[in-house]
Structure 1
Amino acid sequence: MGQATQPHQPRTILIPVAGVVLVAHALALWGLPKLNPPKPADAQVVMETRVLEAPLPPPAPTPQPAPLEPQPTQTPVPKPKPRPAPKPPTPAPAPTAAPAEPQLESNQPLAEEIQGQAAPETEALKETPAEPPAPTPPPEPISELPEANSAGTALPLQVTPAGSAPLPPGTVLPVALPNSATLEFNASGQVKGFQYSAGAQLQWQHDGQYYSARQSISMFLLGERSQTSEGLITPQGLQPLNFSDKGRKTQSAAFDVANGKAHFSGGTADASIASGVQDRLSVFLQLSALMAAQPDKYPPGTLIEMTASSARSAARWQFRVGPAEALDLPFGSVMALRLDKLPGKSSGDQRGSVWLAPAMQYLPVRIKLTQAQDDFVDLQLKKYTSAPQ
């Protein structure tokens, strides 16, 4: 009865199978990389390497040679023309310039009209538009018309009292020179329609033997106009030796009383002169010396005639003594003796007046000169400084 019991083998076999299944599930959950099948040989990509050279930089542009300027021919061009430009720009309309007011100048210095440069005429060249001329500079602040040497310049000083015959030639006329002084003026005037205002100065010096006088008027942009007189002091008063007039150019006159000649730098013929000749500046100081010595000898209506010379010519000037007047000047109220310069025979001869102040040793405190076309200059005293002597 006793039969031996056989072990159960199937349970033992199931354990390894279960492990394999668990491993398979784990691999399925975690995921396995796809295994790509190898590509066939003909489908593989073949990489080739080539060496490429960098392109060279473009060559620099060759500079164009500058055009040669046309050389002037040996034959002179009758009418020179300005050098043309290849393409002249269209000129813009010039702005309207406002009228300039005179300003104190300058010896702004002064332009002249500019001519265009000449170029040879060819068929390929065209004329450029002509440039407008430079503006004409305004005239100098002191104008003086040229006048020919008049007759009688060799006559000496001549005085004719009011209502009487002229004093005999050789009559001694005493003089009393004013002390050295500096006078400053306000100047106003008109030259060829151009009105101006400026400053002026008269410097008067002497040592009893020699004298020097300088009158100047200066204005901004117009520069300075000055007149200078130098000479001797004689018992008859002033005897000029040299006179200069300096503006845009300088002209002068030299007086040789011993030989009776006045020489001019501008090439004008010599003028005949005699004792008592004055220049355009010393004439006013000579009148001062005459009036200061014996004012009673020159009542209103007295005529004083003398030769007065500019840097270009000589002429006879005649003054008529007038009454004393009260002047309202920049300096203040001043009593002054008026002398009127009478016009000569020439239509362009200067007219004018000079006022001599007794309180200032009869030095001129106002000078006004008028010429043709209503041109004038008027100097009025604003400061007076007398040097002790």
Structure 2
Amino acid sequence: MTTVGPPGLRPLAGLTAAVVVAHLLVLQQASMSLSPGDAPALHTPPLNTRMVTPPAPVAEPAPAPKPSPPPPRKPPAAPKARPAPPPESGPAPSPVLGQNLAEPIVELSPTATDSVANSTATGTGTTALAEAPAQPASAPSGSAPVDGATLNAAVPSSVRLLYNLEGQARNLQYTARGEVLWRQDGQRYNLLLTVSAFLIGSRSQTSEGDLTPQGLAPRRYADKWKGEQAAHFNRDTGRIIFSVNTPEAALLPGAQDRLSLFIQIGALMAADPKRMAAGNSFTLQTVSTREAEPWIITADGEESLKLPGGEVIAYKFSRAPRRPFDTRLELWIAPSMNYLPVRIRVTQSNGDFVDQKLRASEPAGKPD
């Protein structure tokens, strides 16, 4: 007599493992803000430049020409011309004054960014120093300045946004749910993103800070999943400090983190809808938990979107990759939704992507 055992245990166990792995990838990839995978900017170039300066001593062999002084001894008649020196002594002070006037330029230039400050130490000249502060403002393209200090903004009222997420990670297709809780009281704000996946749990990101006429001014940005990483915006010292011990960065006007950026773009458009015209661009310093760099955001024009919550007219903005492994950001904001993000798509260099679309929205209270 044969005993019949449970027939589907092994297939069921295999299916469960596959589901767990797939949803684990969801939390790794599904995030409204970009992952901190971009390589941090290196500060080695300035150090290399300083290493170049030592070769100057190598040029010390030049002192060999000093034997030439003996020839000058031959013209002792020169002392007779000593009466001429008085007029020469007059012009002598002018070069000294010129050097003193140039010094303030050297002292002011380091205020732009660390890289500019280091470049001034190389003694590249007054012209280079005058041009250097403009470089961070236009990086990486000379046509778009860092606009955080000049563009006014109008932030939306507190709201809870609910999204459907779909994407691909390592050739696995997945779906998930996302929620953005935006709260503000007119002086400060709190922004929370949560992405939930079945059997695995959730991943969250937070941004909190102040509200100014130019919009959001973050003070702290954090990404929490299997531990927490954070970036602190120290406005007293003008520095950005990272918890992962990567080098500090200069804090530029209007800087945003990779979560507040999505609300800030809409706030800039709400203050002046003309900025949504296709082809317009602006640059904002964007901060992850590891680095800070200028991002050029370009307006791509109007589109009609079919979302889980219904059809809406939206305006698309994008940030194209600047380096081989950078992510591509596409963002759609809707004037009918207080210029809030109704769709966000993030594409990795390997083709993996997260596409989240607005499902619903509801009012929210003020920050605690």
Could you say which TM-score interval applies, normalised by the shorter chain? 0.5 to 0.7
Show structure 1 runs of 5+ residues with no match: 1-93, 111-136
Looking at structure 1, the residues matched to 148 and 194 of structure 2 have their Cα atoms a distance apart, in angstroms, of 35
Counterpart for residue 216 of structure 1: 194
Show structure 2 runs of 5+ residues with no match: 1-8, 43-111, 115-132
Closer/same/farther in 2, CA of residues 98 and 295 from structure 1, 3 Å limit: same
| 1:275 has 2:253 as partner | yes
Query: 1:140-188 CA distances to partner (integer Å, 9 max, x unpaired)?
Result: 243725223348877899799xxx9656978732211111100000011
| 1:146 has 2:37 as partner | yes
Counterpart for residue 251 of structure 1: 229
Instruction: Check conservation: 1:159, 1:303, Cα contact below 8 A.
Output: no
Closer/same/farther in 2, CA of residues 355 and 266 from structure 1, 3 Å limit: same
Closer/same/farther in 2, CA of residues 266 and 367 from structure 1, 3 Å limit: same
Counterpart selection for 2:349 from 372, 376, 384: 372
Counterpart for residue 363 of structure 1: 340
Paired AA for residue 378 in structure 1: D
Q: Which has the higher helix share?
A: 2
Aligned 1:45-124 pairs, distance under 5 A: 98-100=14-16
Instruction: Check conservation: 1:182, 1:386, Cα contact below 8 A.
Output: yes
| 1:350 has 2:327 as partner | yes
Instruction: Check conservation: 2:334, 2:342, Cα contact below 8 A.
Output: yes
Counterpart selection for 1:286 from 229, 240, 264: 264
| 1:383 has 2:274 as partner | no
Instruction: Check conservation: 2:144, 2:283, Cα contact below 8 A.
Output: no
Q: Secondary structure at the match of 1:140?
A: helix
Q: CA deviation at 1:300?
A: 0.7
Which deviates further from its counterpart, 190-199 or 201-210? 190-199
Counterpart for residue 62 of structure 2: none
Q: Secondary structure at the match of 2:28?
A: coil
Q: CA deviation at 1:387?
A: 4.7
Q: Secondary structure at the match of 2:245?
A: coil
Counterpart selection for 1:182 from 160, 167, 173: 160
Instruction: Check conservation: 1:268, 1:312, Cα contact below 8 A.
Output: yes
Which deviates further from its counterpart, 183-192 or 379-388? 379-388
| 1:316 has 2:316 as partner | no
Counterpart for residue 185 of structure 2: 207
Query: 1:324-357 CA distances to partner (integer Å, 9 max, x unpaired)?
Result: 111000000011010011111x211110200000
4+ long deviations beyond 4 Å: 94-106, 151-160, 164-171
Counterpart selection for 1:195 from 173, 182, 203: 173
Identity, in percent, stands at 36
How many residue pairs match? The answer is 264
Looking at structure 1, the residues matched to 226 and 16 of structure 2 have their Cα atoms a distance apart, in angstroms, of 21
Which deviates further from its counterpart, 184-193 or 350-359? 184-193
Counterpart for residue 230 of structure 1: 208
Instruction: Check conservation: 1:103, 1:219, Cα contact below 8 A.
Output: no
| 1:295 has 2:286 as partner | no
Closer/same/farther in 2, CA of residues 261 and 102 from structure 1, 3 Å limit: farther
Closer/same/farther in 2, CA of residues 197 and 269 from structure 1, 3 Å limit: same
Closer/same/farther in 2, CA of residues 332 and 264 from structure 1, 3 Å limit: same
Higher relative contact order (CA closer than 8 Å, sequence separation 6+): 2
